[in-house]
Amino acid sequence: MTDTTTEAGLSSDVTEVRAQKLAKLRETVAEVYPAHFHRTLTNAELAEKYEGIEPDTLTGDIVTVAGRVYSSRNSGMFIDIHDASGKVQIFSHKDTTPEEARALLPLIDLGDIIGVTGEVRRTKRGELTVNAHEITMLTKSLLPMPEKWHGLTDIELRYRKRHLDIMTNDDSKLRFQQRSKIVSGIRRFMEDDGFMEVETPMLHSVYGGATAEPFKTHHNTLKLDMYLRIAPELFLKRTLVSGLTDKVFEINRNFRNEGVSTRHNPEFTMMECYWAYADYEDIMGLVERMFEKLALTIHGSTEFPYGDKQISFKGPFRRVPMPDAVKDVTGIDFRAIATDEEARAATRAAGFEIEDDWTWGECLAFIFEEKVEETLIQPAHVTHFPKDISPFAKEVPGEPRLVERFETYCNAWELGNAFSELNDPEEQRKRMVEQLEQAHARGESEKQLDEEFLDAIDQGMPPAGGLGIGVDRLIMLLTNAPSIRDVILFPARKNRAD
């Protein structure tokens, strides 16, 4: 094995050598790419089973293992193969390995996948090893793999060729294994709490449930323009109306035709749920219990590092109304501001350029985003959102400009968004009509009123608390990932230049 690799790939003569080896293999073995190979143990199972054997011990046990070749020493005498669970060393020698098996060694390159049957032993140096009796070529790799110890240092190349990134970067591999645990943990937590998982449409004829630019497509048979969903909210509420369950949730993808950043990807994973006969106070407790459980699952503790910060998911989290948070940081008391005009004046006095039609609530939310979010490092529930940016939430008693809505923040990121859900059909229609008029005024001419949703609300929806959690951001935090693209297996990216 004589591969030397570079990030940009190898010269054509090296790949030609591999092609020549493939041709030779086709002449000498029955099948270079067999359909099936039976192994008796994974590499991790092998390590666990023989953990206690002493150095310089032959066990007499015959096993069959398989994996990708990551390193080779002494002309193939020592080969390390990796499967998804770990590594094992393969030893080939004329005293223990038949000539037929050893004849394959010159045709094996780094990156090939092989199967090995042989005797388990531990070397004098303590390395768990399989003495090869049989070697089977399972997959001949025609391209060299990046060097294991350096991996792909070009960030964009890591995202474009994620298969190579995971193949050569243990941190990336661990992060996606942890992602799977986190998503499974969320699902298990919700089911254990009595929630039923459902699947709602990804293609919507009327887009809604959030304020965002949708991706548009066309259904040829129905002759209907459709949109990739921006949120499942309205269908989940219709499920609640049906009486199928009092606790419903969905984990799935949402799509928003907007910007890409370290915290935004056009398609992303959300967990959204609705809980009948509960309110946003109940949802706060749900979030705290879930986050604490996930931290324990990944870190064995409710405290964990993110960058140079130490985060604690130990509940209860801090709770602060948005007007109070803005006043604490900026000194601006929005509760004392009576009109939209006064709110715009206060916002401009704080040094911001804003539109002339902004409302009191839009000004409050804008100042919060610009000045307060960055201060929310430890988990906090920010409550009492403006009603004019929250069309699906109930009013705060005694404060008609505010609603029972909260967002959970940590590391200055929004992780979750929750409401005491509006279920008054007349008020719901009024707010959705107002929202539609505002959208049309902004030039969003395709925005429509979802009459099927309003019909369901007319039928009667129980009081409920609702929640949406950005799963990708939560995974970023729990796995210490600097970018959302580090936790999405194949993130959005530009096409490769020809």
**What's the rounded Cα separation, in Å, for the pair 233 and 457?**
13
**Nearest-angstrom CA–CA distance, 170 and 152:** 12
Question: Could you give the angle at the alpha carbon of 99 between the alpha carbons of 98 and 105, nearest 5°?
Answer: 105
The span from the CA of 226 to the CA of 272, in Å, is 22
Phi, psi of 420 (to 5 degrees): -85, 110
CA distances from 171 to 88, 145, 342, 457, 486 (A): 19, 17, 52, 48, 10
C-alpha dihedral, 201 to 445 to 467 to 296, nearest 10°: 80
Say if CB 304 and CB 292 are below 8 A apart.
no
Contact between 408 and 414 (Cβ < 8 Å): yes
414 is in an annotated binding site: yes
Q: Is 267 annotated as a binding residue?
A: no
User: What are the phi and psi torsion angles at 337 (to 5°)?
Assistant: -90, 125
Q: How far apart are CA 479 and CA 486, in angstroms?
A: 10
Picking from 365, 329, 322, 361, the residue whose alpha carbon sits closest to that of residue 342 is 361
Start-to-end CA distance of the chain, whole Å, equals: 32
Least Cα distance to 265 among 446, 496, 481, 497 occurs for 481
DSSP H or E run through 286: helix 280-299
SS3 at position 472: helix
From the list 210, 259, 202, the residue with the least C-alpha distance to 229 is 202
In 3D space, the residue among 296, 230, 239, 225 whose CA is nearest the CA of residue 421 turns out to be 239
Contact 205, 218 (CB under 8 A): no
229: left (phi over 0), alpha (psi -120 to 50) or beta: beta
| CA count, 13 A, side-chain hemisphere, 240 | 32
| Residue list, annotated binding site for Mg(2+) | 407, 414
List binding-site positions: 407, 414
